[in-house]
Amino acid sequence: MIIKKMRLSMAVVALAGSVLTTTPATAAEKETSQKQSESKYAGKAVADINSDTTLNIRKKGSLDAEIIGKLKKGNIADVIKKGSQWTKVKSGNVTGYVNNKYLVYGDDIKEYAKENVKKVAKVTTQTLRVRKKASTDSKIIGLVSENETYSVKKQSEDWAKIKVDGKTGYISKDYAQVTYSFGKAKSMKEIAAEKAAKAAAAAQTSTSGTTGTSAADSKSSASGSSVSASSVSGSSIGQKVANYAQQFVGNPYRYGGNSLTGGIDCSGFTQQILAKFGYSISRTSSSQASEGVAVSTSNLRAGDLLFYGDKGGINHVAMYIGGGQVVHASNSAPYPKGGIKISNAFYRTPVCARRIIQ
């Protein structure tokens, strides 16, 4: 009996000891988790400027040095070396120096981002319903695909409000990862190329308007009648692909669709067009963005794919046809606002460009 009591007493003491040691361990785990969350910004810096201005990246740490790139508000960079007045950073394709007083560093980024950086939701399931209201009982107004990314307009603990094909709705955060969309710097060469492409597209639109041969006037029927494009010439495969793609301008958009005449979405469109010429690519825009080889938006040629998103990811793809223009399956609105149409390649800032046709 005495031995049993001793064993019982020892068991109680051991149990009490385990309870006592559990509390500080839990607190330590919480502290570790918080530190890990903050440490993801270690060695990083974010541009802290007005939204209507840009922050210069210079070749050397001096106001007299050449400007080699620019950061927008909330753009993020890797810190290479921090000096007393200038910090050497790398962001996008640009490595150079930025004045310290316009940067937020390390753990301070977390608080800065809450009020100054937009958020995006990346879909983590194959197909996710978009609902009219933040409830599983609410009407389904659309579908979004895995790995696609959308700007978050508003969020609660369980739901994120996004805009898809002109409609605003809610997706469950159980199947989407919400993160900040910091964005990265652009080189002066990239900025100049975008301006040149926009100017070329504007000039072509102006010329088309005077000759009466605008893309909107060249709408094709479901039979696929040919649409001419002065920006596309020659006999290269890329140009042939771009010419072929324009035959379907005016046909309808349909999410998840695979018919070039009856209804198709952006990634289905590029997949089907390239398949006609023997090129096999995946089905979603985010997956297509990792295929082929990367090309600069300043060195595009007909047949290249341009990808767009909300800084943090990809949610749209279009095919470059030359002259600063793309052809793409846009949205479910009636043509010419939606459907398969021709647009300025820089109507949105491309996230990246890929060349499938080598």
C-alpha distances (whole Å) from 270 to each of 89, 118, 240, 242 are 36, 29, 14, 10
Instruction: Compute the distance between CA of residue 21 and CA of residue 310 in angstroms, rounded to an integer.
Output: 46
| pLDDT tens-place string over residues 175-184 | 999 999 898 9
Per-residue pLDDT tens over the stretch 197-226: 767 666 655 554 444 333 333 333 333 333
250's CB contacts (< 8 A; 6+ apart) are 219, 220, 221, 335, 336, 339, 340, 341
Residues 303-315: tens digit of each pLDDT = 999 999 875 678 8
- DSSP reduced 3-state for 216: helix
pLDDT for 23-45, tens place per residue?
A: 344 555 445 545 555 578 999 99
Q: pLDDT value at position 207?
A: 54
Q: Name the one residue in this structure whose structure tokens are 């922050």.
A: 55
pLDDT at 230: 34
Q: What is the pLDDT of residue 111?
A: 94
Burial label, 108 (beta-carbon count in 10 A; 0-12, 13-18, 19+): middle
Contact 327, 242 (CB under 8 A): yes
pLDDT range class, residue 256, cuts 50, 70, 90? confident
Q: Is 50 helix (H, G, I), strand (E, B) or coil?
A: coil
DSSP string covering 76-110: EEEEEEE-SSEEEEEETTEEEEEEGGGEEETTHHH
pLDDT tens-digit series, residues 101-156 = 999 999 999 999 999 998 989 888 878 899 999 999 999 988 877 777 888 999 99
Percentage of the chain lying above the pLDDT 70 cut: 78
Enzyme catalytic residues: 266, 316, 328
pLDDT at res. 234: 31
Q: What is the pLDDT of residue 87?
A: 98
Domains and CATH numbers, the chain: 44-115 (2.30.30.40), 118-180 (2.30.30.40), 186-355 (3.90.1720.10)
> What is the reported pLDDT for 113?
94
Which pTM was predicted?
0.57
pLDDT of residue 38: 57
Q: Are 72 and 311 in contact (CB under 8 A)?
A: no
